[in-house]
Chains A and B, each alone.
Chain A
Amino acid sequence: MDIVIKTTSRILFPFMLLFGVYLAFHGHLSPGGGFPAGAVMGTAFVLLLIAFREKDIEKKLPEWKIADFKSIISLALVFMVLGEFYLREKILLHQRLFDLWSGGETLILNILGSIVVASAIIIIAYSFMKEEWKGIQ
């Protein structure tokens, strides 16, 4: 890709990631939440995938890392199920409204859901783009 797109995406990438984390952690106090946070974080990685060449990405993001994302997704789903069933009553006690570490179950489920959505977007985009790169070569 162009040098402009490369430099811009390299500069923008940490800010997009930070904004996604902010949306996930602040979702129970302000507009936001798990799904937009995951979409923002996944889009940051997709921007890197689009901007850089195949070799750089293959060097930095080898194939076994996608399997890692898959296990991260499954772990987050398992913890979500556990949180739905067990954690709900215990966390909610002794919390002030409008604190950052309030919200009970909502905060934890926001973070886990954002991880799931981001990993799903990364896996889908990377699988399709790898097929495209192989077709070009």
Chain B
Amino acid sequence: MKLYRPATVLVGVLFVLLGGLTRLVDTDQVYEDSTRVTAHGTIGQKIQYGDSAVTVTRMRFAKTFLADENDDKPIETDGIFVAVEYEAYRGTKDPGSNDVTLTADDGNIYESVAENASSGITFPQPGFTESGAFVFEVNTNDLKGLTFKLRTSQFFTGVPARDIAVDLAVPSDEVAKQLVDKAADQYVMPERSTRVDS
């Protein structure tokens, strides 16, 4: 007894081929998580994060840093400290929680080092803007393409998770070297402060 007609088999094979072809067409989609959306930006640019927003206001290189202006002993490193100052505006919706990291072209991922700072941006209450800073300890040989990344760690299912990537304007090793040479002797972490959004 003949189980399937040739036409049926042909349709089946066609579907298998179609499935394979669609996978080939968008290769990125196979490896990239399609439930995450990354917004790219530069220093000074207000980057939308849902109905909240994040701005990286300043980036500083420093040889030592003080976690608090009342500290008497600066923290030192063989590498370099990169301070990233930000402003976070809070909209209506709860932005959930997030983690921030620095990444470089070589693939290293740095986490914030200051012990009194949290590992992510804490958003203020609705209608307020909070400013603060993160300090990262970075290898001086790995500064090209330095990017500040915010990854949403807790969010509601059903909507794509929003991430932020801010290019910190270190396009080449020469620029990196200049920045390291001109690094400040000391960076004092500013206190987190909240103001009414204007």
Please determine whether chains A and B interact with each other in the same assembly: no
- Residues of A bordering B, CB below 8 Å: none
- Residues of B bordering A, CB below 8 Å: none
